[in-house]
Structure 1
Amino acid sequence: MKNLQLFDLDLIDNIISPEDFNQTSLMSPATDIFTDFKKHKALIIEDETPAGEALKLMVKTHVRMKIVMSKDNDFMGIISTKELNEQTIVTAIAKGSERHEVLVSDLMVLRSDLHAFDFNELENATVNDVVNVLENYGLRHCLVLDREHHHIRGVISSSDIARKLHLPIDIYSKTSFSHVFKVIHG
């Protein structure tokens, strides 16, 4: 048995993260900026969750987007803080709903309205390629498909790109790919 020693933390004031070791640039592989659901569990929410409850949960956990699933585990779409905000909820209430009746399913972006990257193409692309393509869409999130296996493989987030590129973007702002593009390209 080794005799391990414990040390005081009084002179330590920071915590490292993977970004401290992995330098991501515009020429890095696009897979460096993508959250792979083979490595990280997808953040999901049920479509019948009350919108106000979902918003509180997302704000509390600092999550900006979740994948919406039905009770039967069918992929329905996505919900983000862009769609799920107090103003949108109040608008739904003004149309005659009670607050608790406004559900995630009422505000989500339907799967039929979404676009996604193909994982195989992403493997041969750079971060710059991704930012340039998505700049025109003004999105904050984009799903990644594994078309060969017919499933959602992951997600790309503008806030993740900004963080990994060490861009001076306020994490509390509504960061979009368009905003990331403007910071990168002056």
Structure 2
Amino acid sequence: MKTLTYVSTKDVNELTWPHAADNTNLYSSALTVFTDFTAGGPRVIESNVRADELVTLMRKEHVRMKLVVDSNNHFIGVISLEDLSEDVFIRQVADGYQRSELLVADLMRPKEVLLALSYKSLKNSDIESLLFSQRNNHYQHLLVIDEATKAIRGLVSSNDVARELRLDIDVSFSSFQQVYKIALEEDKKVAQKLRVA
């Protein structure tokens, strides 16, 4: 067993802060808002987990989306809190399913219907171009694929974009569509202030 050393905080006045760009704007690199799975692994769930249990788990973990994997840990789709809304459960029960029998596999969006962004494309883009390309996307997450390895490299969250741009938006209900609209409005306000000054 190792011995740990403790130090008094009496003479400590400073905090260590992450190296973050305070001037993130629409023209900053899109990688600024990219969650890279090589730095922090993906949040996954197996397809055979009960859907109602996943709702509780995701709320506890404070996550809004998980990648769905099979028993071999292969990517098969995504599931978000939007896919697990009470309305979705009510519709499924009305169709004859028992709430407790519904699995993640029953409610997920399978990979065959998903579109993802190329990592190479993202790397060479700015936030404005990213938002413009997603202006009609009513979801909160966009997967990013590394075409060289044919693997999901990471994702972009509309919430992360809103936070980085410091937009006045409720991130619990934001989508790329909403973030795009508000970001453009904010950019116009800044441009008008610059013209006046």
User: Residues 62 and 148 from structure 1, CA distance in 2 versus in 1: closer, same or farther, beyond 3 angstroms?
Assistant: same
TM-score normalised by L of structure 1: 0.88
TM-score normalised by L of structure 2: 0.84
**Unmatched tracts of structure 2, length 5 or more:** 186-197
Which consecutive segments of 4 or more residues in structure 1 shift more than 4 A?
15-18
Over aligned residues, Cα RMSD in angstroms?
2.4
The amino acid that maps onto 2:95 is K
1:87-123 Cα shifts (integer Å, max 9, x gaps): 2112212222222211111111110111111111111
Match of 1:180 in 2: 179
User: Residues 17 and 41 from structure 1, CA distance in 2 versus in 1: closer, same or farther, beyond 3 angstroms?
Assistant: farther
The amino acid that maps onto 2:175 is S
Match of 2:52 in 1: 52
- Equivalent-residue separation in structure 1 for 2:99 and 2:87 (angstroms): 12
- Equivalent-residue separation in structure 1 for 2:158 and 2:130 (angstroms): 10
Match of 2:9 in 1: 6
Match of 1:66 in 2: 66
* SS of aligned partner of 1:152: strand
User: Residues 87 and 4 from structure 1, CA distance in 2 versus in 1: closer, same or farther, beyond 3 angstroms?
Assistant: same
Computing the radius of gyration from Cα coordinates, the structure with the larger value is 2
Structure 1 residue 137, shift from structure 2 partner: 2.2
- Equivalent-residue separation in structure 2 for 1:17 and 1:167 (angstroms): 22
Alignment of structure 1 residues 58-97 onto 2, 5 Å: 58-97=58-97
Structure 1 residue 59, shift from structure 2 partner: 1.6
The amino acid that maps onto 1:22 is A
1:41-88 Cα shifts (integer Å, max 9, x gaps): 101011111111111111222211100001121211000111111221
- Equivalent-residue separation in structure 1 for 2:11 and 2:53 (angstroms): 41
* SS of aligned partner of 1:66: strand
User: Residues 16 and 52 from structure 1, CA distance in 2 versus in 1: closer, same or farther, beyond 3 angstroms?
Assistant: farther
Corresponding pairs, count: 180
User: Residues 3 and 111 from structure 1, CA distance in 2 versus in 1: closer, same or farther, beyond 3 angstroms?
Assistant: closer
* SS of aligned partner of 2:130: helix
Structure 1 residue 142, shift from structure 2 partner: 0.5
The amino acid that maps onto 1:183 is I
Q: Do 1:77 and 1:111's aligned partners in 2 also have CA atoms closer than 8 Å?
A: yes
Structure 1 residue 7, shift from structure 2 partner: 3.2
